[in-house]
Amino acid sequence: MSTSDPTDGDDTAPVEDGGGGPPPSREAIVERLRRVDDPELDRSIVDLEYVDRVDVDGDRVTVAFVLPTAWCSPAFAWMMATGIRDEVGALPGVADVTVDLRDHMHAEEITTGVNERRPFQAVFPDADAGVSAVRHKLDEKARLARQHAAVEALLDAGLAPEQIVALGRDQVDLDADGDRAVVSLRGGSVLVPVDAAPLARYLEKARAVGLADDHLFADPDGDPISLDAFESVQARARAARVNVDGQGSVCAALHESRNGVAVDD
């Protein structure tokens, strides 16, 4: 996921870069690009194979990317473009990043605006909402989708709903044993092994959206889940997960049809 969060009114703030030093390798740049996601699909643009080209010329880097359709949301494309610019720009040895959005109906506006560090709403003054509001909404949907997978992993491990809603983050040890996490119950006297991957993905997004540390899971408003609301919240989370997965399948088919790129599920 991109660690950058473009704001509605100011997209011109300087970002940290490594300054001097040897230029980064193409492999290092691609690894950094894994932090940039398609905000609607909650997946890395590298995994989705959106990255079309990476050029390194000394301390200057150009990244070209292409989306599944020419009419993908300008706000989504803007988030990805600023994520590319900021993540690659934070690498040691990179002094300048040029982002090139290709084959999009707003390619020129987005490419120019992002490279010139102009605010989104200065480029798209008729937009209904700024990118911060859109990003927040999509991040919350992604959190719910990831929460569904994490809760299902806990249920599969034998935890009951009343145990799940009472969990705090300090009761989850992701470094326990490779692919297995450990959840502590009853003051740490009972340790339950759980599939680590869905919990790790969920916690990454929960931290990114600023979810409070005192509880592991939350309802759509970010509040702790009561036992009475467990089923309804899990149903909402399942709907979010189905929506994200469904959108991903549609975009993968469009991407393959348009660009000849097959994306793994």
* 130 — pLDDT class (breaks 50, 70, 90): confident
Residue 257 scores a pLDDT above 80: no
On whether the pTM is more than 0.85, the answer is: no
The shares of helix, strand and coil residues in the chain, as percent rounded to the nearest 5, are: 45, 15, 40
Express each pLDDT in 95-126 by its tens digit.
999 999 999 999 999 999 999 999 999 999 98
* Cα atoms in the 13 Å half-sphere on the side-chain side of 6: 31
Evaluated on CA atoms 134, 44, 115, 18, the torsion sign reads: positive
Confidence of residue 213 (pLDDT cuts 50, 70, 90): confident
Other Cβ atoms closer than 10 A to 151: 26
Nearest to 88 by CA among 155, 153, 16, 136: 16
Quick one: pLDDT at residue 247?
85
Structural domains in the chain, sorted by start? 26-128 (3.30.300.130), 134-246 (1.10.443.10)
